[in-house]
Amino acid sequence: MPLLSPVPDDDGAPFWRYAARGELRVQACAAPDCGELRFPPRPCCPHCHSFDSVWRRMSGRGRIWSYVVPHPPLLPGYAEQAPYNAIVVELAEAPRIRLVGNLVTGPDAPLGSVDPERLRIGARVQVVFGPADPLDRSGTASTTVPRWVLERP
Ligand code: ZN
């Protein structure tokens, strides 16, 4: 069974287009005296209420802010890759921006490629980009998603 793929809405579509190019970008307010980063993407700046925005490229570095190791019952595709992790990463440039993803050993590695014993709050991570379902062999093009590897494996 395949894993779930992101279903982009109009506000979030640029995030996925940049991800497909291997770029981690976060929406930022384009008002000259604001520039506030915001995530998840949305039309209006929560700080100054401007509707102007740009997509700023991030370094892709961050730290594990929290994590879980999901337990059954799991959807069939996920059960095949368990035990795996879901981590929350705070970005180095913007610690208030937190992205949910998976810690893996490489861009094409399965969700369960990192031993759960190795997960640590505060560990430094770096973004990588790979297919939404690394084990899918159907041949259909998979959405590219950001995942995370340890800076020092
Ligand atoms: Zn603003």
pLDDT in tens, 63-109: 999 999 999 999 999 999 999 999 999 999 998 999 999 999 999 99
pLDDT in tens, 41-50: 999 999 999 9
Q: Is the pLDDT reported for residue 3 higher than 90? A: no
Does 2 map to a domain?
no
Does 31 map to a domain?
yes
Residues around ion ligand 1, judged by CB within 5 A, are 29, 31, 34, 36, 45, 47-48, 50
Which residue range(s) make up the domain with 61?
A: 13-150
Does 134 map to a domain?
yes
Does 131 map to a domain?
yes
Calculate how far, in angstroms, residue 39's C-alpha sits from the geometric centre of ligand 1: 13
Calculate how far, in angstroms, residue 145's C-alpha sits from the geometric centre of ligand 1: 27
Q: What total number of domains does the chain contain?
A: 1
Does 28 map to a domain?
yes
Does 62 map to a domain?
yes
pTM higher than 0.95:
no
Does 99 map to a domain?
yes
Does 54 map to a domain?
yes
pLDDT in tens, 87-100: 999 999 998 999 99
Write out the two tokens for 33: 């005296």
Calculate how far, in angstroms, residue 104's C-alpha sits from the geometric centre of ligand 1: 35
